[in-house]
Amino acid sequence: MTDESEYWNKPMETMRRGELEELQLKKLKATINYVFRNSPFYKRMYSEAGVEPEEIGTIDEFRSKVPLFRKDDVRERRKETGDPFANMLTVSLDRLATVHLSTGTSGVPTFTALSAEELDVASEPSARIGWMMKIRPGMRLLCALMLDGFWHWWSTFLGVCVFGKLGVKSELIGYNFLLPVFGYPTSRIALGKFKADWIHLSPDAALATINECARMGKEPKDVLPGLKYVSCSGEAISPSQKKMFLEKFGALDWFESWGCSDPFTLACECYIHSGLHAFSDYWLLEAVDPDTNELLPVGERGEIVSTNLWLRSLPYVRFGTEDFGELSDEECECGRTHPTVRIYDRTSWVIEVAGKKVSPFNIRVIMEKYPETGDASFNILKYSDKMDTLKIKASYKEDITKDPDELKEKIIADIKKELGVNAEIEWTPFEQLEKILHKLVRIVDLTKE
């Protein structure tokens, strides 16, 4: 039986599935009507597709009639109109309380924007997620996702929505993990200065911290004693990687989370770790075939599509996140009835090598088998649309690697055996691997400028 303290809002988090779907449909209809009447972007797209809001009476009709769009569609409209918001914005600029850029992993960054009223609305699902992450009043909190200048949208999610809603009266420390990620020696001055109960960071920042601590002759659990819980976002992590992180940081639990900045969409694991809870009274998620846009059955992997059911200033309806994952509608043992999602890779990261489809997740699983490359720090070089050989730049742990050449040959042999493709590996220091801010670039596309 689940402890009552597990929930932030038990009635909503454990609502019966039928009631939840009725509420979701009600919000969906209101959203469709609103964007059609107030956003030139949607007015044009729906008119061209022959969509009338009044015709959408069920979620199935929504999925079959309403077109989806992606970042490139927004970028194209932005270039066409000269409007940085691509004619999607439905309010005047002075109504906006916060505007954030996306990381730009897949190209020119795009925006998310919220009004003061929307920040208040967003604080409810954010608080549910923060509570699942085991954030409690009185904790000392450490956030390692570029809070400098509040550029990153997680600064609003955590700093404004979560901590403000939970009433946490403790410090929110903007720990600049860009320092260890990019190898600045001054990171040793900052690392360990603050003692935290809870920390949020990306997998790359976690790896950078482990590497930086190793240079100091320590481990993160030595530098951050008393750390209880960790929340992680930015890239999916495998079970073996999570196990390694838990041991290195000495935390009681490690919660994987996922977010997409444009539609301000969030999901997070609970203590059961059977999937990331996505609260469907705030977001409607789908999985589609990224090549055909056809809806996929629950449980089948495809591109995750998100519809934000409460964002009005800069609404996102049927937005292709370009994240590759799967949905599940099985009720979790924690008692929550909302569907869960698992994210594995970016859809654009699936490449063709010798006629076979290969993704970074495939390489991660192989590299994590070896202690010397257990952190799976690598870039894949895409030098052609169709390649004969897989080319990889990767780093290894110098303190435990006896023979880098032998290690290289073992990994290449595993790639050939498990994926059926030939591979070349160039050993590269972690600091010199390609990154966009805090994220390792898994596919370095040499075919583009």
The reply to whether 358 and 408 lie within a common domain is yes
Which of the two residues, 257 and 204, has the higher pLDDT score? 257
Give dist(CA 282, CA 122) in Å, integer.
9
pLDDT digits (tens, 9 = 90+) for 41-74: 999 999 999 999 999 999 999 999 999 999 999 9
Give dist(CA 357, CA 389) in Å, integer.
12
With respect to residue 61, please indicate whether it lies within any of the assigned structural domains: yes
With respect to residue 126, please indicate whether it lies within any of the assigned structural domains: no
The reply to whether 269 and 328 lie within a common domain is yes
Give dist(CA 396, CA 219) in Å, integer.
17
368's tokens: 């994590």
Give the CATH number of the domain where residue 291 resides.
3.40.50.12780
Quick one: how far is CA 213 from the chain centroid? 25
Neighbours of 189 (CB within 10 A): 10
With respect to residue 235, please indicate whether it lies within any of the assigned structural domains: yes
With respect to residue 414, please indicate whether it lies within any of the assigned structural domains: yes
The reply to whether 187 and 290 lie within a common domain is no
pLDDT confidence band for 18 (50 / 70 / 90): very high
pLDDT of 231 strictly over 80:
yes
Distances (CA, A) of 253 to 135, 272, 273, 405: 12, 11, 10, 36
The reply to whether 270 and 249 lie within a common domain is no
What is residue 175's DSSP assignment?
Answer: -
With respect to residue 389, please indicate whether it lies within any of the assigned structural domains: yes
Domain boundary pick from 258, 278, 295: 258
The reply to whether 287 and 218 lie within a common domain is no
The reply to whether 144 and 254 lie within a common domain is yes
- Domain membership of residue 96 as a residue range: 4-120+262-347
- Report the relative pairing of strands 141-143 and 172-174 from DSSP bridges: parallel
pLDDT digits (tens, 9 = 90+) for 126-140: 889 989 999 888 787
- The pLDDT score that the predictor gives to residue 167 is 63
Give dist(CA 279, CA 132) in Å, integer.
12
What is residue 372's DSSP assignment?
Answer: G
With respect to residue 127, please indicate whether it lies within any of the assigned structural domains: no
The reply to whether 201 and 293 lie within a common domain is no
Give dist(CA 27, CA 309) in Å, integer.
6
Give the CATH number of the domain where residue 251 resides.
3.40.50.980
Domain boundary pick from 227, 258, 289: 258
With respect to residue 367, please indicate whether it lies within any of the assigned structural domains: yes
The reply to whether 46 and 86 lie within a common domain is yes
H runs (alpha helix) in 160-202: 163-166, 178-182, 187-190
Give dist(CA 390, CA 225) in Å, integer.
41
Give the CATH number of the domain where residue 358 resides.
3.30.300.30
The reply to whether 247 and 147 lie within a common domain is yes
- The pLDDT score that the predictor gives to residue 40 is 96
The reply to whether 245 and 143 lie within a common domain is yes
Domain boundary pick from 347, 376, 411: 347
pLDDT of 368 strictly over 50:
yes
Give dist(CA 48, CA 288) in Å, integer.
22
Total domain count for the chain? 3
pLDDT of 100 strictly over 60:
yes
Binning the chain into helix, strand and coil, the percentages to the nearest 5 are: 35, 25, 40
Please answer whether residues 428 and 393 qualify as being in contact, where contact means their C-beta atoms are separated by less than 8 angstroms.
yes
Which of the two residues, 291 and 157, has the higher pLDDT score? 291
With respect to residue 298, please indicate whether it lies within any of the assigned structural domains: yes
**Mean pLDDT, range 272-279, rounded to an integer:** 96
The reply to whether 189 and 246 lie within a common domain is yes
The reply to whether 9 and 115 lie within a common domain is yes
